[in-house]
Amino acid sequence: MAEVLVFHHGHGLTAGVREFAEQLRRAGHTVHVPDLYEGHVFDSFEEGIGYAENAGFDTITARGTAAAEGLPAELVYVGFSLGVLPAQKLAQTRPGAKGALLLEACAPVSEFGDTWPQEVPVQIHGMDADPFFAMEGDVDAARAIVGAAVHGELFLYPGDRHLFTDSSLPTYDEQAATQVNHRVLGFLDRIK
């Protein structure tokens, strides 16, 4: 079974992110879910991103990096939207990474180095008309990473929702999220 570090999105550590982590635990994985917002959870996406902007995206990413300290190097990093920043940074730069699952966001490889480490498998999920993922360049960054990894997969789902994987938010899409969860569990089952 895999050991997984999950980073929440811009609303904070919501019930939906906690439920996602529980699903992984029920499948037998060891899961860590740090709170990058220090207890703050926001009802609106705008409020949550405002908090991240005030704290600084570098600060949020640094909190994620600090959360990995003391944990084994052999982790799978999972990020939801904003949480992709620390997840992708750690997958690209921390030796020993076993994989990366990037949900609803993706940064250019150049954000954290020169290349994607070929040996680190990656799976990326987003909606094909999500204004953030599909329209702001994330999907292009995702295609580049998938092309650079020995084992890379990009899954696009029909729809225009951002944060469609969080069951506690009004943007939740049960059908698409069920597919994501099935694929995520399959990915984790292949980690050695």
The enclosing domain of 88 has a CATH number of 3.40.50.1820
Does 192 have pLDDT greater than 90?
A: no
Assign 79 to helix, strand or coil: strand
For residue range 132-183, list pLDDT tens digits in order.
999 999 999 999 999 999 999 999 999 999 999 999 999 999 999 999 999 9
* 47-57: average pLDDT: 95
For residue range 93-147, list pLDDT tens digits in order.
999 999 999 999 999 999 999 899 999 999 999 999 999 999 999 999 999 999 9
Q: What pLDDT is recorded for position 187?
A: 98
- Segments forming the whole domain that contains residue 84: 3-189
Distance, CA of 164 to CA of 131 (rounded, Å)? 12
* 52-78: average pLDDT: 96
Which among 84, 20, 77, 100 is positioned nearest to 52, based on CA atoms?
Answer: 84
Number of domains in the chain: 1
78-115: b (≥16 Cβ within 10 Å) or e: bbbbbbbbbbbbbbbebeebbbbbbbbbbbebeebeee
The DSSP element (H or E) to which 112 belongs, if any, is none
Q: What pLDDT is recorded for position 65?
A: 96
pTM of the model: 0.97
- On the CB side of 85, CA atoms within 13 Å amount to 16
